[in-house]
Copies of this chain bind each other. A is one copy, B any other.
């Protein structure tokens, strides 16, 4: 739980966190995850192991914390000029990133932690991205489905397939996006796609 509230930026606590996170990322880039230990991280970060245990509880919680940070989107969804295309471009990128080797490892780290706070944060990041696409659609006067509908019908099936089967193809992702966009028919088209 500690360290999850977000330390005061620039404070000692924030510097410790930044340094430990950096050490984890550096070690993960150099060695297999199974070999990474708290003492190794502590040595790399220049802190004592007990600092890490006190703050994160155990290795799994720390790895989850780092994974959540890496899963935070570093850009706004690309503006393609239309809501349908915005969502499709975003969904393809999301599917590609999450199904990549590093993506899968990060999801696994986030889900392996006991608390579930990290997983909740990840879901929040994704919703924020969808909300940005929705807001842009609104500003253009385009209709757009509820954020919950996009989470259920686009994000959930992509993530389920990545976790429990094979990553969805680009065509599959397009079908999912088309499906949810039909909930709110485009303003300037009355014809429905044939089922």
Could you tell me which A residues sit within 8 Å of B by CB distance? 108, 111-112, 119-120, 122-123, 151-153, 155-157, 159-161, 163-165, 176, 183, 195
Contacts and interface: CB of A to CB of B under 8 A. Distances in A.
A159 B120 CA distance: 13
Q: How many copies does the complex hold?
A: 2
- Interface of chain A: mostly helix, strand, loop or mixed: helix
A164 B108 contact: no
Given A152-B176, A156-B156, A156-B159, A164 B123 contact: yes
A112 B114 CA distance: 12
Contacts of A152: 153, 156-157, 160, 176
A160 B153 contact: no
Contact of A163 (B119, B153, B165, B195): B119
Contacts of A157: 151-153, 156-157
A101 to B, nearest CB: 11
B160 A156 contact: yes
8 contacts: A111-B112, A119-B163, A119-B164, A120-B165, A123-B164, A152-B160, A153-B157, A157-B157
Given A156-B157, A157-B156, A111 B163 contact: yes
Contacts of A183: 195
Given A151-B160, A156-B159, 4 more contacts: A119-B163, A123-B160, A152-B156, A159-B164
The 3 lowest CB-CB distance pairs between A and B, nearest first, are A156-B160, A123-B164, A152-B157
Contacts of A176: 152
A189 to B, nearest CB: 17
A189 B25 CA distance: 58
A155 B160 CA distance: 8
